[in-house]
A and B are shown apart, each in its own frame.
Chain A
């Protein structure tokens, strides 16, 4: 599975988006565009990424830019691996 697909699966799990994620591509905006994507969801996504990939995310690595779109989130995950 590509990282993009994995990230989409994680988003679907945490935000309970169901099949809607199949329509997502790297350009799909996240923060401020998906109603379920609030700050609690951000926490859930970070934790799920840590558990899935086994890396550790420090607070200062995270800001709104990381969660701008599927693409920015995928790049962040790639930078951690």
Chain B
């Protein structure tokens, strides 16, 4: 099983959940591979040299490493923007995978990037200055071919445009693929976002084998403190273990 990380600070915040998932799965005799994309985390390179294409290659090499070393059926796990990359990979892949586990996937890369840009705009949003920086100004910088520093991450125009162009709506999962999609909600009365439910319904209508479940807990990928949702890990392990496939 290959675990695909999310992006930027969301990756740091979900680190513990990823290791916990990996540990639990390997306790169940599963081979789990965790990695950081080129130019991020503990991997070599700088983010400025990274590209969406390179990251898709990273997924490919992770999967072929597992196929060579372990064999058998291979599963994929991804969360947030990692799901966009997983979809990008699966859209182009010729070797199918067995199960896809999704945690709070980002559906629209454009919406995500807008929210990400706010990390830079936050302070100017609060200022009364008439000439304060807006997302339009940031887009102008990217359009001119220059990189943009957002919250300590050097974002190249190429990376931004591929991210913004990515959407799970362009992903038509194979009907052989078994998908579990978990969304985290703050309390039991809450339902996952409408957009997510719509997309799942669309997939189901198209014959895709997708199970959509909510898990109560805190949004661990963007909370101030590091938090864990053990129910999410437990239910993920159950999904993967079902049928005993690897």
Pair B223/A43 contact, Cβ less than 8 Å: no
A21 contacts the other chain (CB 8 A): no
Contact with B along A1-34 (1 / 0, CB 8 A): 1000000011001111000000000000001000
Count of chain A residues with a beta carbon within 8 Å of a chain B beta carbon: 29
B218 contacts the other chain (CB 8 A): yes
Contact with B along A28-62 (1 / 0, CB 8 A): 00010000100111111011101110101001101
Chain B: number of interface residues, binned into ranges: 20 to 34
Pair A42/B219 contact, Cβ less than 8 Å: no
B231 contacts the other chain (CB 8 A): no
Pair B224/A13 contact, Cβ less than 8 Å: no
Which residues of chain A have C-beta atoms less than 8 A from B123's C-beta?
39
Pair B135/A59 contact, Cβ less than 8 Å: yes
Q: Which residue of chain A lies nearest to B119 when distances are taken between CB atoms in the complex?
A: A43
A78 contacts the other chain (CB 8 A): no
Pair B223/A54 contact, Cβ less than 8 Å: no
Pair B189/A43 contact, Cβ less than 8 Å: no
| Given A16-B225, A40-B119, A43-B118, also A63-B193 (CB < 8 A) | no
Contact with A along B93-112 (1 / 0, CB 8 A): 00000000000000000010
Q: For the complex formed, measure the closest distance between the CB of B58 and the CB atoms of chain A, giving whole angstroms.
A: 27
Interface residues of B in 109-150 (CB under 8 A from A): 111, 115, 118-119, 121-123, 125-128, 134-135
Using CB atoms and an 8 Å cutoff, list the residues of chain A in contact with chain B: 1, 9-10, 13-16, 31, 36, 39-44, 46-48, 50-52, 54, 56, 59-60, 62-64, 67
User: Closest 9 CB pairs between A and B?
Assistant: A39-B122, A43-B118, A39-B123, A59-B134, A62-B125, A64-B126, A43-B122, A47-B115, A13-B186
